[in-house]
Copies of this chain bind each other. A is one copy, B any other.
Amino acid sequence: MKKNDWYFEDFFVGQEIDLGTRLVSEEEIIAFATQFDPQPFHIDHEAAEASIFGGVIASGWHTCSMMMRMVVDGLMSASSSMGSPGVDAVRWLLPVHAGDTLSVLYRTTKVKASASRPDRGVVWSRWAASNQRGELVCTIEGMGMFGRRPAEGLHA
């Protein structure tokens, strides 16, 4: 995919985009959490083994950030993305353990052309991450603005 393969017009309700998989290593869990979420079960192998989690688990923000990377690689980098005003209903449903492999699915839930700005529209989506056992571990309700496809021949 290249920039602007995807415009607002390419999104439709019910559309599902498979964003592939990502292995989560203990090393990167600890590196992220050391910077942003230094709780013992995120950064300390021994403490995490002794905790109710039985081992190091990813910061919820790390899980979201990994999902974002998959959305960027699988969709946004090839799109007319104009940024996002935010996300809703971030849910950390199950721990993400070191060694887990996340699979992420992007589902379009609503599309709306902007009434005030004819060059763009808003796309609502649900991002769902599952682990290698098919268990849902994190969901996010996303929002993004995308540019509309230029009219054919406009600049011809």
- Docked CA distance A59–B67 (Å): 13
Q: Does A121 contact B (CB under 8 A)?
A: no
**A12 is an interface residue with CB less than 8 A from chain B:** no
| Identical copies of this chain, number | 2
A125→B59 CA distance, assembly (Å) = 19
Q: Is A149's beta carbon under 8 Å from chain B?
A: no
A153 at the interface (CB under 8 A from B): no
A87 neighbours in B (Cβ, 8 Å): 90
> Which residue from B61, B81, B88, B91 sits with its C-beta under 8 Å from A64?
B61
The chain A residues found within 8 Å of chain B, CB to CB, are 32, 35-39, 59-62, 64-66, 68-69, 72, 76-77, 81, 83-92
